[in-house]
Amino acid sequence: MTMTRLRSHMPLAHIPIVIITAADASTHRDRTLKAGADAFFQKPVDNDQLLAAIDRALGERKARTPVIGSSSSPLQAEE
């Protein structure tokens, strides 16, 4: 099931989605966040940033403010 379909399927829509990829972030980041990801990280991933994004996604699911991160620092997605 794609992320867009997961987000539109009410029994599953509340499940946080955190993406970790080795792909070029500039190509995938915007599309992934628009599709409903809660966080996006490009490898290598800083463990503390990843855990913070997971905690945030679990704790603030209603707000659904995506987090964009890399090995340097996370950035808030612009809305």
Chain segment 33-44, per-residue pLDDT in tens: 888 898 999 999
Report the residue count for the chain: 79
Q: What's the Cα-to-Cα distance from 67 to each of 16, 17, 56, rounded to whole Å? A: 12, 11, 9
End-to-end CA distance of the chain: 25
Range of the domain at 8: 3-76
Overall pTM surpassing 0.75 (yes/no) = no
The pLDDT value recorded for residue 68 is 59
Q: Residue 78 pLDDT more than 60?
A: no
Q: Residue 44: is the preceding peptide bond cis (ω within 30°)?
A: yes
Beta strands in 1-79 (DSSP E): 18-21, 39-42, 67-69, 75-76
Query: How many domains does one find in the chain?
Result: 1
